[in-house]
Amino acid sequence: MKYELSPLPYAYNALEPYIDEQTMRIHHDKHHQAYTDKMNAVLEKYPAFAQTPIEELLQKLPTLEIDEKDRSLLRNNGGGYANHAFFWTVMGPEKEIDEGLVEEAKKTFGTVEECKQALGEAATNHFGSGWAWLVRDEQGLLKAYSLPNQDSPLTLGHTPLVCIDVWEHAYYLKYQNRRTEYIENWWKVLKFF
Protein backbone atom coordinates (compact mmCIF):
# COMPACT_ATOMS: atom_id res chain seq x y z
CA MET A 1 0.00 0.00 0.00
CA LYS A 2 1.31 3.39 -0.94
CA TYR A 3 0.52 6.16 1.51
CA GLU A 4 -0.58 9.58 0.37
CA LEU A 5 -0.17 12.67 2.46
CA SER A 6 -3.65 13.83 3.55
CA PRO A 7 -4.36 17.54 3.41
CA LEU A 8 -4.45 19.41 6.70
CA PRO A 9 -7.92 19.24 8.31
CA TYR A 10 -8.00 23.09 8.40
CA ALA A 11 -6.45 26.01 6.52
CA TYR A 12 -2.71 26.61 6.75
CA ASN A 13 -3.39 29.88 8.59
CA ALA A 14 -6.08 28.44 10.89
CA LEU A 15 -3.75 28.22 13.90
CA GLU A 16 -2.58 31.84 13.64
CA PRO A 17 -1.38 33.69 15.59
CA TYR A 18 0.03 30.83 17.68
CA ILE A 19 1.41 28.80 14.79
CA ASP A 20 2.08 30.79 11.65
CA GLU A 21 0.99 29.89 8.14
CA GLN A 22 4.50 29.58 6.72
CA THR A 23 5.51 27.11 9.43
CA MET A 24 2.39 25.03 8.76
CA ARG A 25 3.01 25.03 5.01
CA ILE A 26 6.63 23.92 5.32
CA HIS A 27 5.89 21.50 8.15
CA HIS A 28 3.05 19.76 6.32
CA ASP A 29 3.96 20.11 2.64
CA LYS A 30 7.71 19.58 2.98
CA HIS A 31 8.56 17.74 6.20
CA HIS A 32 5.51 15.48 6.41
CA GLN A 33 5.69 14.84 2.67
CA ALA A 34 9.35 13.82 2.99
CA TYR A 35 8.57 11.33 5.78
CA THR A 36 5.72 9.95 3.67
CA ASP A 37 7.91 9.48 0.59
CA LYS A 38 10.76 7.86 2.51
CA MET A 39 8.36 5.54 4.35
CA ASN A 40 6.82 4.50 1.03
CA ALA A 41 10.28 3.78 -0.37
CA VAL A 42 10.95 1.33 2.50
CA LEU A 43 7.51 -0.30 2.42
CA GLU A 44 7.82 -0.88 -1.33
CA LYS A 45 10.47 -3.49 -0.54
CA TYR A 46 8.09 -5.47 1.71
CA PRO A 47 4.93 -6.49 -0.15
CA ALA A 48 4.07 -8.72 2.86
CA PHE A 49 3.27 -5.54 4.81
CA ALA A 50 1.01 -4.12 2.13
CA GLN A 51 -2.21 -4.74 4.09
CA THR A 52 -0.85 -3.74 7.50
CA PRO A 53 -1.50 -0.17 8.67
CA ILE A 54 1.64 1.76 9.60
CA GLU A 55 0.43 2.09 13.21
CA GLU A 56 0.45 -1.70 13.50
CA LEU A 57 3.90 -1.93 11.92
CA LEU A 58 5.16 0.58 14.51
CA GLN A 59 3.65 -1.51 17.31
CA LYS A 60 5.46 -4.57 15.99
CA LEU A 61 8.60 -2.73 14.96
CA PRO A 62 11.08 -4.53 17.27
CA THR A 63 10.10 -7.95 15.94
CA LEU A 64 9.32 -7.23 12.29
CA GLU A 65 11.23 -9.49 9.94
CA ILE A 66 13.03 -6.75 8.16
CA ASP A 67 16.54 -5.64 7.31
CA GLU A 68 18.05 -3.70 10.27
CA LYS A 69 18.73 -0.66 8.12
CA ASP A 70 15.12 -0.69 6.98
CA ARG A 71 13.90 -1.09 10.57
CA SER A 72 15.71 2.11 11.42
CA LEU A 73 14.34 3.85 8.29
CA LEU A 74 10.83 2.72 9.18
CA ARG A 75 11.25 3.84 12.79
CA ASN A 76 12.25 7.33 11.61
CA ASN A 77 10.06 7.78 8.55
CA GLY A 78 7.08 5.59 9.41
CA GLY A 79 7.16 7.28 12.82
CA GLY A 80 7.47 10.67 11.15
CA TYR A 81 4.51 9.91 8.92
CA ALA A 82 2.24 8.61 11.71
CA ASN A 83 3.27 11.16 14.34
CA HIS A 84 2.53 14.11 12.07
CA ALA A 85 -0.74 12.63 10.80
CA PHE A 86 -1.82 12.40 14.45
CA PHE A 87 -0.39 15.81 15.40
CA TRP A 88 -2.57 17.67 12.86
CA THR A 89 -5.68 16.13 14.40
CA VAL A 90 -4.95 17.09 18.02
CA MET A 91 -4.75 20.76 17.02
CA GLY A 92 -7.49 22.99 15.67
CA PRO A 93 -8.71 26.56 15.48
CA GLU A 94 -11.48 25.82 17.98
CA LYS A 95 -11.68 23.77 21.16
CA GLU A 96 -13.53 20.47 20.93
CA ILE A 97 -13.31 19.47 24.58
CA ASP A 98 -12.94 15.71 25.03
CA GLU A 99 -14.81 15.12 28.29
CA GLY A 100 -13.63 11.50 28.52
CA LEU A 101 -10.01 12.56 28.23
CA VAL A 102 -10.54 15.37 30.74
CA GLU A 103 -11.86 12.82 33.24
CA GLU A 104 -8.92 10.49 32.63
CA ALA A 105 -6.48 13.38 33.03
CA LYS A 106 -8.07 14.34 36.36
CA LYS A 107 -7.93 10.76 37.55
CA THR A 108 -4.19 10.44 36.87
CA PHE A 109 -2.89 13.96 37.45
CA GLY A 110 -5.48 15.46 39.81
CA THR A 111 -6.38 18.38 37.55
CA VAL A 112 -6.19 19.24 33.86
CA GLU A 113 -3.72 21.98 34.76
CA GLU A 114 -1.40 19.42 36.36
CA CYS A 115 -1.71 17.20 33.31
CA LYS A 116 -0.75 20.16 31.09
CA GLN A 117 2.13 20.93 33.41
CA ALA A 118 3.49 17.38 33.16
CA LEU A 119 3.20 17.36 29.38
CA GLY A 120 4.59 20.88 29.10
CA GLU A 121 7.61 19.96 31.23
CA ALA A 122 8.26 16.89 29.09
CA ALA A 123 8.16 19.14 26.02
CA THR A 124 10.29 21.92 27.49
CA ASN A 125 12.93 19.65 29.00
CA HIS A 126 13.33 17.33 26.01
CA PHE A 127 16.89 17.61 24.72
CA GLY A 128 17.15 17.96 20.95
CA SER A 129 14.59 16.79 18.41
CA GLY A 130 11.58 14.81 19.48
CA TRP A 131 8.03 14.86 20.76
CA ALA A 132 6.22 15.17 24.07
CA TRP A 133 3.45 12.63 24.46
CA LEU A 134 0.39 12.10 26.60
CA VAL A 135 -0.37 8.38 26.35
CA ARG A 136 -2.46 5.65 27.89
CA ASP A 137 -0.19 2.82 29.04
CA GLU A 138 -0.78 -0.95 29.10
CA GLN A 139 -2.58 -0.59 32.44
CA GLY A 140 -4.87 2.13 31.18
CA LEU A 141 -3.12 4.92 33.10
CA LEU A 142 -2.15 8.21 31.52
CA LYS A 143 1.51 9.15 31.29
CA ALA A 144 3.36 12.22 30.03
CA TYR A 145 6.89 11.78 28.64
CA SER A 146 9.07 12.68 25.71
CA LEU A 147 10.65 10.47 23.08
CA PRO A 148 13.56 11.31 20.77
CA ASN A 149 13.35 11.87 17.03
CA GLN A 150 10.27 10.22 15.49
CA ASP A 151 9.98 7.36 17.98
CA SER A 152 6.34 6.38 18.55
CA PRO A 153 4.66 5.41 21.85
CA LEU A 154 3.01 2.66 19.79
CA THR A 155 6.35 0.85 19.78
CA LEU A 156 6.23 0.87 23.60
CA GLY A 157 2.71 -0.56 23.60
CA HIS A 158 1.16 2.79 24.56
CA THR A 159 -1.79 4.59 22.98
CA PRO A 160 -1.06 8.19 21.92
CA LEU A 161 -3.63 10.73 23.16
CA VAL A 162 -1.90 14.10 22.67
CA CYS A 163 1.47 15.02 21.17
CA ILE A 164 3.56 18.15 20.86
CA ASP A 165 6.20 18.34 18.15
CA VAL A 166 9.33 19.92 19.64
CA TRP A 167 11.54 19.58 16.58
CA GLU A 168 12.83 23.04 15.76
CA HIS A 169 11.07 22.86 12.37
CA ALA A 170 7.77 23.01 14.30
CA TYR A 171 8.40 26.47 15.72
CA TYR A 172 11.70 28.01 14.65
CA LEU A 173 10.42 30.48 12.04
CA LYS A 174 8.17 32.20 14.53
CA TYR A 175 9.76 31.47 17.90
CA GLN A 176 13.44 30.86 16.99
CA ASN A 177 15.06 29.37 20.10
CA ARG A 178 12.11 30.19 22.38
CA ARG A 179 10.68 26.69 22.76
CA THR A 180 9.06 27.55 26.10
CA GLU A 181 7.06 30.36 24.50
CA TYR A 182 5.97 28.03 21.66
CA ILE A 183 4.74 25.49 24.22
CA GLU A 184 2.94 28.14 26.29
CA ASN A 185 1.09 29.23 23.16
CA TRP A 186 0.55 25.68 21.94
CA TRP A 187 -2.17 25.04 24.53
CA LYS A 188 -4.30 27.55 22.60
CA VAL A 189 -4.35 25.24 19.55
CA LEU A 190 -4.77 21.95 21.45
CA LYS A 191 -8.34 20.89 20.71
CA PHE A 192 -9.18 18.49 23.54
CA PHE A 193 -8.76 20.54 26.72
Interface residues with Mn ion (CB under 5 A)? 165, 167, 170
Q: CB-wise, 2 or 30, nearer to Mn ion?
A: 30
**With b meaning 16 or more CB within 10 Å and e meaning fewer, what string describes 141-165?**
ebbbbbbeebbbbbbbebebbbbbb
Q: CB-wise, 133 or 167, nearer to Mn ion?
A: 167
CA atoms within 13 A on the CB side of 87: 25
Q: CB-wise, 31 or 136, nearer to Mn ion?
A: 31
Work out how close the CB of 84 gets to Mn ion at its nearest, in angstroms, rounded to a whole number: 6
Work out how close the CB of 123 gets to Mn ion at its nearest, in angstroms, rounded to a whole number: 13
- Which residues have a Cβ under 8 Å from the Cβ of 52 and sit 6 or more positions away? none
Return the SS3 of 40.
helix
Q: CB-wise, 104 or 165, nearer to Mn ion?
A: 165
Work out how close the CB of 108 gets to Mn ion at its nearest, in angstroms, rounded to a whole number: 26
Q: CB-wise, 79 or 120, nearer to Mn ion?
A: 79
DSSP 69: H
- Rounded Cα distance, 102 and 86, in Å: 19
Residue 157 has φ and ψ, to the nearest 5°, of 85, 15
- Residue number of the CB closest to Mn ion reads 165
Work out how close the CB of 55 gets to Mn ion at its nearest, in angstroms, rounded to a whole number: 18
DSSP string, 80-148: HHHHHHHHHHHB-SS----HHHHHHHHHHHSSHHHHHHHHHHHHHH--SSEEEEEEE-TTS-EEEEEEE
Work out how close the CB of 170 gets to Mn ion at its nearest, in angstroms, rounded to a whole number: 5
